[in-house]
Amino acid sequence: MKKISINENAYPYPMPMVVLGTLVEDRPNFMAVGWVSRVNFQPPMIAVALGKGHYTNGGIHATGAFSVNIPGIDLMAKVDYCGLVSGRDADKSALFTVVRGEKTGAPLIEECPLSMECKLTNVLELPSNELFVGEIVGAYADPNRCSAGKPDITKIRPFTLTMPDNRYWEVGASAGKAWSIGKNLNR
Amino acid sequence: MKKISINENAYPYPMPMVVLGTLVEDRPNFMAVGWVSRVNFQPPMIAVALGKGHYTNGGIHATGAFSVNIPGIDLMAKVDYCGLVSGRDADKSALFTVVRGEKTGAPLIEECPLSMECKLTNVLELPSNELFVGEIVGAYADPNRCSAGKPDITKIRPFTLTMPDNRYWEVGASAGKAWSIGKNLNR
């Protein structure tokens, strides 16, 4: 192998930055999360991995619901703030315009061009984190940031995170069509 | 709410594109995956969500190991091909230069600038997918694509996937420092 061994604390990056919304003691709370993925196709399900000490975790356990909000890059400073300050120490409920999810009551962020409300289905206990899995029971998009009724990444302008260098990145140029460009691979 | 309700089949995008390596019936096999995330901080653990019908799943169950390889954008067509063709129908073992992981024997892709070998720790059964969780027991990087001994995203040039429009995207411009730019937020 020509590669060199590096620290095992490695990442499948770049990771999408989202804001998790929960009700904690009846107050909307928001947390910045980069460890998130779709995990089931039908029904649509999503998972987020949160360190065990977070204020958010109690809210998910208590309400059985959470929201996943995709911020545009215009919200980057507010999203970063959500990752710096715990809901235990600061009221983050006024940071965004809050709308309640129609199905779960989870707090959604109006300013985020795409919001999903999730009903908790599974919790996987891991050594230092809890993996919360939820079914997406409602999804809402800003019509001005859709094309043909679907979210358009060039209008949403989400951003990504790399670790351990801890940097945010814009989405770059369109690079090709998936499940397509490999069809004519000359092997 | 000013947003409109859309189909629940929504995504936390952009999603990182990786190639999963497994031994299936003693032959290296590779699968393109966009549903991947770190899920535990210490020890470092990673999860991949695979549809239940895939050829790869049997290999992970049988060997208790898999690799996660981060391709550069130069490998995009080959990665796409891995997502188009099943290992049941085509031998993908010669598509890349294969190196065996030192700890698990899982097949790693030499051409990918970053490879992680994982030891299976948990399987979460979901309705249409299996979520495989593994501990990263070895990580290997191309020294020419590192800076100060750590993977450098500007040299690795990974790419991302959006669904349901099914497009690949380059990583764009550096946009800010995480856990930092929110410090001086004027609220």
Residue A67 Cα, gap to closest chain B Cα (Å): 11
Q: Among all residues of chain A, which has the CA nearest to that of B167? A: A177
pLDDT bin (cut points 50, 70, 90) of residue B149 is confident
Write the residue in B6, B77, B150 that is nearest to A165 by C-beta: B150
Q: What is the pLDDT of residues B25-73, one digit of tens each?
A: 999 999 999 999 999 999 999 999 999 999 999 999 999 999 999 999 9
Any B CB within 8 A of A44 CB: yes
Any A CB within 8 A of B151 CB: yes
Percent of chain B at pLDDT above 70?
A: 99
Contact between residue A111 and residue A70 where contact means Cβ atoms under 8 Å apart = no
Task: Give A153's DSSP letter.
Answer: H
Q: Are strands B107-109 and B98-100 parallel, antiparallel or unpaired?
A: antiparallel
Q: One digit per residue, pLDDT tens: chain A, 187 residues?
A: 799 999 999 998 899 999 999 999 999 999 999 999 999 999 999 999 999 999 999 999 999 999 999 999 999 999 999 999 998 999 998 999 999 999 999 999 999 999 999 999 999 999 999 999 999 999 999 999 999 888 999 999 999 999 989 999 999 999 999 999 999 885 5
Can you tell me the ipTM of this complex?
A: 0.96
Q: How far is CA B75 from CA A68, A114, B52, B97, in A?
A: 31, 30, 26, 12
The answer to whether the CB atoms of A37 and B42 lie below 8 A apart is no
d(CA A87, CA A15): 23
Any A CB within 8 A of B78 CB: yes
A-B contacts (CB, under 8 Å): 358
Residue B184, pLDDT score? 80
Helix (H/G/I), strand (E/B), else coil: B89: coil
Any B CB within 8 A of A120 CB: no
Q: What is the pLDDT of residues A78-117, one digit of tens each?
A: 999 999 999 899 999 899 999 999 999 999 999 999 999 9
The answer to whether the CB atoms of B16 and A14 lie below 8 A apart is yes
Q: Does residue B97 carry a pLDDT above 70? A: yes
Residue A163, pLDDT score? 92
User: What is the pTM (predicted TM-score) of this model?
Assistant: 0.96
Residue A186, pLDDT score? 55
CB-based burial, B134-172: b 16+ in 10 Å, e otherwise: bbbbbbbbbeebbeeeebbbeebbbbbbbbebebbbbbb
Write the residue in A1, A14, A179 that is nearest to B84 by C-beta: A179
d(CA B99, CA B103): 12
Residue B185, pLDDT score? 81
The rounded radius of gyration (Å) of the Cα atoms in chain B is 18
* Stretch 80-109 of chain A: residues touching chain B, C-beta under 8 Å: 80-84, 95, 99, 102, 108
Residue B25 Cα, gap to closest chain A Cα (Å): 23
Q: Does residue B186 carry a pLDDT above 80? A: no
Q: Does residue B103 carry a pLDDT above 90? A: yes
Q: Does residue B187 carry a pLDDT above 80? A: no
Q: Among all residues of chain A, which has the CA nearest to that of B149? A: A6
Q: Are strands B114-125 and A45-51 parallel, antiparallel or unpaired?
A: unpaired
Contacts of B76 in chain A (CB under 8 A): 175-176, 181
Q: Which of the residues A4, A5, A7, A11 would you substitute to probe the B interface, choosing the one with the greatest number of B C-beta atoms within 10 Å?
A: A11
d(CA B80, CA A62): 42
The answer to whether the CB atoms of A167 and B153 lie below 8 A apart is yes
Contact between residue B10 and residue A158 where contact means Cβ atoms under 8 Å apart = no
Q: How far is CA B39 from CA A21, A34, A51, A168, B169, in A?
A: 19, 10, 9, 19, 24
The answer to whether the CB atoms of A70 and B12 lie below 8 A apart is yes
The answer to whether the CB atoms of A178 and B6 lie below 8 A apart is no
